[in-house]
Amino acid sequence: MFLPENIDLAHSEEYQLSIRLSPDGFSFCIHCQDNPSLFHHQATRLGNKLSYTDNIKKLIFDLGFFSQPFNKTKVTLVSPYYTLVPHAFYDKKRVKELFRFNFHEVDGVLLSDFSSTGEYHIVFHIDEEVHSFLSRNLWNPVFHHHTTPLLQLFETRQAENNQRTCFVDFHDRSATIACFAENNLLSVNTFPGINPHDTTYFIASVWEKQEFDQTTDRLCLSGDIDSQKTVTDILKKLIRHVDSIELNPEVILTSEQRRLLPTDMLAALCV
């Protein structure tokens, strides 16, 4: 992994570092908020010769520059292990108890994000060793869940179009599905997106459970749509109103970067 010549980490305090941890991948981007042309993204698959934690440690140590004092350092965790808690019921001292409503075995560290609307918290799990290592070796890192920028994006788009909408983002061989009625978030879940028939079933089941109408309500797709052609072709036969999200990040990206960057990362670059 090499950085382009126009990014000078002798002045790392001018850049923002974003690291993204998926179940089998590691990626990062470096960009300058004051200069949209300064952007770099790299991604790599994690091998199976080392453990997940050791893979991350090796990448951090091999690259060597992650510990520098960046303007901001953000770590985004991609994981299906999260739950939403309405603000009225959220208590930091009871996070473990709240998380156990959906996940009975709780090992590691539980963190939370506050929604952009202020209506709920996203409580999520991260491996304790990974969290401890990154906290020690990065410059004041802030940890987020991948649904945080996604839901902020979906809430913004929902406010622009007050129709009942099911948003589906394809990423990391998974599908994150969020449903809205007017400005109210009804549900959000992340399911496996490996088998097309299973993925279609998950989406159709959520659609049916929320009592969406195939002729009047809207399905909005984002992310790695090309890899889910079988799924999207079936959905377009079942649902009349199907469209996709187009994003305009505040950095200059190549067409290849627009295609490869996950929606949560692109959404975070839009604000």
What's the CATH number where 208 sits? 3.30.420.260
Residues 63 and 7 in one domain: yes
DSSP string, 158-222: HHHS-S-EEEEEEETTEEEEEEEETTEEEEEEEEE-SSHHHHHHHHHHHHHHTT--TTTSEEEEE
Residues 7 and 121 in one domain: yes
> How distant, in Å, are the alpha carbons of 10, 15, 17, 236 from that of 6?
12, 12, 15, 44
Mean pLDDT of the chain: 94
Residues 164 and 197 in one domain: yes
Residues 100 and 22 in one domain: yes
The total number of structural domains in the chain stands at: 2
186 lies in some domain = yes
Locus of tokens 């749509």:
225
Residues 106 and 176 in one domain: no
Confidence check: pLDDT of 104 > 90: no
Residues 134 and 161 in one domain: no
Confidence check: pLDDT of 57 > 90: yes
DSSP string, the chain: ----TT--GGGGGGSEEEEEEETTEEEEEEEETTEEEEEEEEEEEPPSSS-HHHHHHHHHHHH--TTS--SEEEEEE--S-EEEEEGGG--GGGHHHHHTTT-S---SEEEEEE-TTSSEEEEEEE-HHHHHHHHHHSSS-EEEETHHHHHHHHHHHHHHS-S-EEEEEEETTEEEEEEEETTEEEEEEEEE-SSHHHHHHHHHHHHHHTT--TTTSEEEEEESGGGGHHHHHHHHHH-SEEEE-----SS---HHHHHHS-HHHHHHTT-
End residue of a domain, out of 145, 166, 192? 145
**Residue-level pLDDT at 5:** 83
Residues 70 and 162 in one domain: no
pTM here is 0.95
Residues 14 and 135 in one domain: yes
pLDDT digits (tens, 9 = 90+) for 223-250: 999 999 999 999 999 999 999 999 989 8
Instruction: Give the residue numbers spanning the domain of 191.
Output: 157-244
89 lies in some domain = yes
Q: Are 175 and 189 in contact (CB under 8 A)?
A: no
Query: Which among 119, 126, 173 is positioned nearest to 151, based on CA atoms?
Result: 119
End residue of a domain, out of 90, 120, 145? 145
Query: Which among 138, 163, 174 is positioned nearest to 262, based on CA atoms?
Result: 174
Mean pLDDT (whole number) for 145-154: 97
Residues 104 and 190 in one domain: no
Residues 9 and 119 in one domain: yes
Mean pLDDT (whole number) for 131-159: 96
Distance in angstroms (rounded) separating the CA atoms of residues 142 and 207? 34
Mean pLDDT (whole number) for 13-37: 95
Phi-psi region of 140 (alpha: psi -120 to 50; beta: other; left: phi over 0): left
Confidence check: pLDDT of 1 > 70: no
pLDDT band at 6, cuts 50/70/90?
Answer: confident
**Residue-level pLDDT at 47:** 87
**Residue-level pLDDT at 145:** 98
Confidence check: pLDDT of 24 > 90: yes
